[in-house]
Amino acid sequence: MQEPQSEGEEVKLIFELLDADHSGKIDVEELKHVLLGLSSWTEKEVEGLIEEFDKNKDGELSIVEFWSWVNGHDGRSTEMYRPALLDMAVAENKRKVSETEERLAVFHEKRAAEEAKAAKEAQRQAEREQGLILSRDAFVKAKMEAGFSKAVAEELYRKCDQDKDGEVNHQDIGWLVSDNLATLDQVKATYQKGIQKEAEEISWSEDWKAEVGKLLKRRGFKEEEEGLKYHATSASGESIELKEILKDKTATLDSKHFPISLHMQASNVTVVDCDDKGLGQLVETFLAWDKDGDGTVSSEELKDVLQQVNPKFTEVTLNKMMGEIDVNGDGVIDLQEFVSWLSGENLKKKKMKKKAKEEQDAKISFTLHRKRADEAKDLKKADQFMSAMAKDVKEFCLSKKIEFSCGTLNPGSNANCSACGGRHSWVCHGCGFVSFFRNCVNDCDGYGWSCINGKCPKKKCGCKKKPDFWQRSGFTSTIQRISLDLEHLVLSAQSST
Ligand SMILES: [Zn+2]
Ligand SMILES: [Zn+2]
Ligand SMILES: [Zn+2]
């Protein structure tokens, strides 16, 4: 009710104006409070008014008693007060109404916001249940299962969770993938990042520069005369010196221009340049791909990996990647093909030098053997593991013309043979390498060893060769064999005897 529509409403409004405590009756104080504000009233007149109209003598005016006063009892004029009171009452009423409306509006707004929030949370919950939202841990775990290093998996997560709320949805992941894992080269570079030494070791290839150029173009930067390689300008006139980006090798432009880290893109690496950590990760990546542990990555296994890396990849991408890595075309990827691919070797015209290749293989062999030896130790299957490798040791000795005369398995790392009492040529159980010295060529400590020959047979003994020869070619098994998981290794030894 804004404007009173009848006399009854008018009187009710004025009554409500005067009845400040909402008791349903107007006492003398309430009446004075309003009427004395109107210029012509005196205290006496107000008191006289109550006296005259308070028929039941309770000291207050009921609505009925008030009615006869305000409507001009006995034909008296109300001109002196009624219009003024009505104006006040209407104004007061309007104020109350608009105050209520304001309060209501605020209330509705608040409720709408709460409802929207609840709806969003319900949607998220539904997405979570459908596996469309991943927590940080789930994301990192899934990426590591696809063979990315922990650091790379965490870096990918940071790129993905732009609003930093601790979880990512399929949209976040879509952005991540289209910026970082859209092409096989990007996928490869991301895997490479896991095995590389720190960033300052990375050199920036032309390929990479071209990649940055493409990226800037996609983000609305226009090609300049000098070409994207050196200079780019955005629609809003911002200008980027690519040389500057390339020089300091950091992603200072990151948050300002695009949500990617430029240092994600890396150049090819060689395994020989890897440190132990990188080498360990190289092996871990391969083992993560080879889910069934049979020593090779099948097309099916690679398909699972690619699905995890970028769900948009199709059969075409899979076949392309398979073709790129499976150089000998036998339909599976072995560890050496994997290493060549990741180090960019199978793309180069020039083959790796024989010595460098041997060094690379030796490093991989050592890393894998050490991993298997540690696993076997943890599972209390060290003896089984060493027996499984024993046949390889004999074949190795035969091929290298090393006299095999003892074969005793000795526990501990630095003692003499319990059978022949010597320690001249022996195989370390930690790394699988032959040694002609007191200590293992790979500095293993705390593993057992197998005696080959306790003393020097002199004629054609391996100890005549230089130590670095055995560091390169002293592995007593093969990469193919040691790529098998423990279970497959033991089985393969049983089936061949
Ligand atoms: Zn011996
Ligand atoms: Zn060793
Ligand atoms: Zn010797």
Ligand nearest to the CA of 470: 2
Residues 353, 298, 182, 130, Cα dihedral to 10°: -150
Mean pLDDT confidence for 105-115:
95
Write out pLDDT tens, residues 132-177: 888 999 999 999 999 999 989 999 999 888 878 888 988 888 888 9
- What pLDDT score was predicted for residue 80? 80
pLDDT of 307 reads 92
> In the predicted model, is pLDDT for residue 106 greater than 90?
yes
Distance from residue 427's CA to the centre of ligand 3 (Å): 14
Tokens 């022949």, residue located: 420
pTM of this prediction exceeds 0.85: no
How far apart are alpha carbons 41 and 84 in whole angstroms?
13
Higher pLDDT among residues 217 and 152, named by residue: 152
User: Has residue 485 got a pLDDT over 80?
Assistant: yes
Distance between Cα 114 and ligand 2 center (Å): 65
CA of 454 to the centre of ligand 3 (A): 9
Q: pLDDT band for position 199 (50/70/90)?
A: very low
Percent of the chain with pLDDT over 70: 82
CA dihedral 95, 96, 98, 104 (to 10 degrees): 160
Q: How many residues does the chain have?
A: 497
Of 460, 462, 441, nearest to 359 (Cα)? 441
478 CA distance to ligand 3 middle (Å): 24
Tell me, in angstroms, the distance from the centre of ligand 1 to residue 455's CA. Answer: 8
Starting from the CA of residue 450, give the closest ligand: 1
**Residue 219: predicted pLDDT:** 61
Higher pLDDT, 93 or 266: 93
**What's the CA gap between 137 and 367, in Å, rounded?**
27
Predicted pLDDT at 236: 58
pLDDT digits (tens, 9 = 90+) for 236-267: 555 555 545 544 433 333 333 333 334 333 44
Going from the Cα of 6 to the center of ligand 1, the distance in angstroms, rounded, reads: 121
Q: What's the whole-number mean pLDDT along residues 84-112?
A: 92
pLDDT value at residue 320: 93
Q: Which domains does the chain have, with CATH numbers?
A: 1-130 (1.10.238.10), 133-264 (no CATH), 376-496 (no CATH)
Q: Tell whether the model's pLDDT for residue 430 goes beyond 90.
A: yes
Least confident of 90-94, 209-213, 481-485: 209-213
Q: Is the pLDDT of residue 294 over 70?
A: yes
Q: What is the mean pLDDT of residues 290-312?
A: 94
What average pLDDT does the structure give for the chain?
83
Least Cα distance to 298 among 306, 308, 290 occurs for: 290
Question: For residues 362 and 474, what is the distance between their CA atoms, to the nearest angstrom?
Answer: 8
Q: H-type helices in 275-353, by residue range?
A: 276-289, 299-309, 315-325, 335-342
Identify the nearest ligand to the CA of 476 by its number. Answer: 2
Separation of 23 CA from ligand 2 center, angstroms? 98
> Which ligand has the nearest atom to the CA of 426?
1
- Residue pLDDT, tens place only, 345-362: 655 555 677 888 888 889
Ordered strands of the 409-410 beta sheet: 409-410, 449-453, 425-428, 434-435
What band does 233 get if pLDDT is binned at 50, 70 and 90?
low
Q: Calculate the alpha carbon distances from 340 to 52, 317, 327, 361 in Å.
A: 113, 19, 9, 11
